Structures are given as structure tokens and as C-alpha cells.
């Protein structure tokens, strides 16, 4: 789960990270009022969307007056902000964050991520802040500092000092940097985060270390331990299909293809998507319905997949281990009777009671295309989609 910049800053400030004063606004008039409350002569107005690259897309404006603030907000509110991270569909702007401008002497990149190869939290820092980490890696790879944290002892002060030294910070700023690093690490571990990123972390003209921007992501599976974090979720920034799936206990990721996938098991789902591409198609989604493929759960999955207007065929790929293929087949038949599915449906069953499951599908009288292997299922799904495309083209031509 991602959260907004202002939310991340509030959380990090609770762990001792220095952030500039700011205020949230839901209208141009409220933004101007927030600037009066903050005081000062210059302000930054930031669109609050779950994406990086806001500045290049016009989502961050420097304003010298309340009139400029209102004009900037008029341009932002209600529009879609399109960045390299949002894709062409963009993300809607419904709130902005107003901050007093800060005199910047130097910018630094700072990130905390889970490094799966070392199974440790890795700190990634660079003296070339203000750019995306991908740009830094490509253009200034020598500037990147990496340091993994031993979980048994956590981030030690000497380790934080080493990072500060590697970034070339003057001795007077070292302790502030240590406090920032340790605060981010504590926030990462205590809140079950999967990513903490401050870009840029700036050295101000009055020699302070300040988080000018902040992003945080959290482990969805740990949100039950953090009800206050779960309440920060903004569904307007999520793919509506993924939001519906999460509300129904399904693991779903929307993609750009046209063959919907209903699979039990994340690994099998990944293999299914790969096989569809190998067969010449494009998957429309990743969908793991989990181990309990009950009729009700299968029906939810079909409704979710069919809510995507791009879906032109559905591939059901179930390996029954704990489950039984006859139960799954009954679920598929029941789901197809309850849910309006007007595209080809391909079903591949394997595992416990597979013969009984195939008999149930055959006797159902429904136009289900059956397959015995994953490759066969993928080829039939792609073939069914291509046939539908050909027929649709023929009808239009006639």
C-alpha cells in the first residue's frame, strides 16, 4: 500500500526526521489560506498523487503570492497528472500540499528498501539527489552508496556515520544525518514498510538536514497490525480493479492485455502469464484466488475479471493440491451460471480428482473449452481470442 507525501512526512517526523512545515488543501481557496497560516514569501504547491516525477509533469509549482497559489491549484485540481510512473491514464489530483519554500544548498537521494538477495534492509544513498534513482544509476553510478543492515542489531550509529561520510557531508551535519537515517530505519521496521524514500533530502542554507519529499510503501499483509496506517489508504489513486479485488480478499494486478487469468497460487499465476505471452497473447491481469477455490470465490474472480472491458477471453488454470478438481469444476460451473460471461472460457484442471472435474465440466452443457496442459490452455485461449477478433472484423466489414 502506498501513501501520499504529506502522510509519509507526518509519519517520519514522529521518528525524528526533520520535515518542513506544510498544510493540506482541497481547494484553491483553502490552499491560499494555508499559505497565509504558514507565513513566508514563497511557497511550494504539490499535487498529492501516488507517483514520482510530479515536477516534470507540472504537479509541483513555486508560487510568490496567494494569487499564484490559486492559479496553480486551478490548473491542478480535477485533472489527471501523467508521469512516467502513472502511464498514459494518469492519476487524478484531488488534494494539494502547501509548504514554505526552503533555501536549498545541496540535494541528496536516500532510500530504504528490502533487498531480497541478502534478505536485509538496504540503505541506498547518493550525493546526486533530485533525480529518480534509475537516472542516478545510469548517469552517476559512482555516486551511489549502498549499506545493508544486520537485523539482529539494527542500524548502528557508526554505520549511519559511515554513510554520512561517504556522502561527503561536513562534520557539523553528521549528527543530523545520523538522526535522519536512524529515524527512517525505525519507521521502516516498526511500521512494516517495504520502502522509504526521501528524494530530495536537502541541506538548507541555514545548515539543516530536511526531508523535502517523502514516499512510503507498506506490506499489505501486515496492515492488520497497523490500523492507523491502513486508514491512510487512498483508493482514488489505485487501479479500481485492484481496489475491488483487495476488498474481496483476492490478489489482483491489472495489466494491459486481453486474456483474463484466474489461477490458484502466485507462482502458477506467473507461469500462466508467461505461457500466454509465449503463445502469442497478452495477459490482462495477475489474479491469485488462493487455496480455497470455492464456488463463491470463483464467482468473485469471474466478476472481477469481467469488469475489465479489455478482456476478450478468460483462462482458468487450477492445480488442485489441498483442493479437489471436482470441487473447483463445480465452482466454475456455478460461477458461469451466476456471472454474465460473453467471452470464450478456457479451463485447465490438474491434480486431485482431475477426471471427476473434467466430467463435471463436460456434463455442464456450458461452452467451456477444456485443456489438459498449461501450454495447450494458453494456445487455446489465444486461438479463441484471435477467432473472436476475426469474426468481429468480418461483421464490421459486412
Known catalytic residues?
Answer: 109, 197
Binding site listing for ATP: 46, 53-55, 99, 102, 107
Q: Which bin fits 341, alpha (ψ -120 to 50), beta or left (φ > 0)?
A: beta
Tell me the three cell numbers of residue 299.
464467482
Please give the full DSSP string across 83-94, using - where no structure is assigned.
-TTT-TT-EE--
Q: Which residues are annotated as a binding site for Mg(2+)?
A: 199, 213
Is the separation of the CB atoms in 381 and 276 below 8 Å?
Answer: yes
Measured CA to CA, the distance from residue 76 to residue 92 in angstroms comes to: 9
Query: What backbone torsions phi and psi does residue 204 show, to the nearest 5 degrees?
Result: -85, 170
Q: Which of 350, 390, 392 is nearest to 370 (CA)?
A: 350
C-alpha cell, 28: 484553491
Closest CA to 213 of 228, 227, 225, 202: 202
Q: Running DSSP on this structure, what letter comes out for residue 102?
A: -
Contact criterion met (CB below 8 Å) for 260 and 227: no
Q: What does the DSSP assignment read for 314-379?
A: EEEEEEESSS-HHHHHHHHHHHHHHS---S-EEEEEEETTHHHHHHHHHHT-S-EEEESSHHHHHH
Q: Within 10 A of 120 (CB to CB), how many other CB atoms are there?
A: 14
Indicate the annotated binding residues: 46, 53-55, 99, 102, 107, 199, 213, 264
Rounded to an integer, what distance in angstroms lies between the CA atom of residue 273 and that of residue 66?
51
Do residues 96 and 46 make contact, with C-beta atoms less than 8 angstroms apart? yes
CB 50 within 8 A of CB 234: yes
Amino acid at each position: 500500500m502506498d501513501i501520499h507525501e504529506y502522510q509519509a512526512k507526518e509519519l517520519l517526523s514522529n521518528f525524528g526526521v526533520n520535515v518542513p512545515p506544510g498544510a493540506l488543501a482541497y481547494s484553491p481557496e483553502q490552499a491560499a489560506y494555508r499559505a497565509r497560516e504558514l507565513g513566508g514569501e514563497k511557497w511550494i504547491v504539490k499535487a498529492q498523487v501516488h507517483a514520482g516525477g510530479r515536477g516534470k509533469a507540472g504537479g509541483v509549482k513555486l508560487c510568490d503570492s496567494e494569487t499564484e497559489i490559486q492559479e496553480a491549484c486551478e490548473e491542478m485540481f480535477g485533472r489527471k497528472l501523467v508521469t512516467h510512473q502513472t502511464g498514459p491514464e494518469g492519476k487524478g489530483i484531488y488534494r494539494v500540499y502547501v509548504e514554505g519554500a526552503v533555501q536549498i544548498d545541496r540535494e541528496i537521494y536516500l532510500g530504504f528498501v528490502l533487498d531480497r538477495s541478502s534478505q536485509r534492509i538496504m540503505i541506498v544513498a547518493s550525493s546526486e539527489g533530485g533525480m529518480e534513482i534509475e537516472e542516478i544509476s545510469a548517469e552517476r553510478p559512482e555516486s551511489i552508496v549502498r549499506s545493508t543492515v544486520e537485523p539482529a542489531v539494527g542500524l548502528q550509529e557508526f554505520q549511519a556515520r559511515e554513510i554520512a561520510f561517504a556522502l561527503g557531508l561536513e562534520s557539523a551535519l553528521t549528527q543530523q544525518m545520523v538522526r535522519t537515517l536512524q529515524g527512517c530505519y525505525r519507521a521502516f521496521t516498526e511500521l512494516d514498510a517495504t520502502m522509504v524514500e526521501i528524494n530530495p533530502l536537502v541541506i538548507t542554507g541555514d545548515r539543516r538536514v530536511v526531508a523535502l519529499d517523502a514516499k512510503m510503501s507498506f506490506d499489505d499483509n501486515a496492515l492488520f497490525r497497523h490500523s492507523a496506517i491502513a486508514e491512510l489508504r487512498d483508493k482514488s489513486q489505485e487501479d479500481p480493479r485492484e481496489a475491488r479485488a483487495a476488498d474481496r480478499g483476492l490478489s489482483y494486478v491489472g495489466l494491459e492485455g486481453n486474456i483474463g487469468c484466474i489461477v490458484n497460487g502466485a507462482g502458477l499465476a506467473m507461469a500462466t502469464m508467461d505461457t500466454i505471452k509465449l503463445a502469442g497473447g497478452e495477459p490482462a491481469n495477475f489474479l491469485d484466488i488462493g487455496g480455497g477455490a470455492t464456488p463463491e470465490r470463483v464467482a468473485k474472480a469471474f466478476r472481477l475479471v469481467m469488469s475489465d472491458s479489455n478482456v476478450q477471453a478468460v483462462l482458468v488454470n487450477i492445480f488442485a493440491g489441498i483442493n479437489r478438481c471436482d470441487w473447483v469444476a463445480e465452482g466454475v460451473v456455478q460461477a458461469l451460471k451466476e456471472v454474465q460471461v460473453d467471452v470464450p472460457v478456457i479451463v485447465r484442471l490438474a491434480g486431485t480428482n482431475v477426471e471427476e472435474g473434467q466430467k463435471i465440466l463436460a456434463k455442464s452443457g456450458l461452452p467451456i473449452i477444456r485443456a489438459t496442459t498449461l501450454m495447450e490452455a494458453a494456445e487455446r485461449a489465444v486461438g479463441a481470442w484471435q477467432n473472436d477478433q476475426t469474426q468481429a472484423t468480418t461483421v464490421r466489414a459486412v
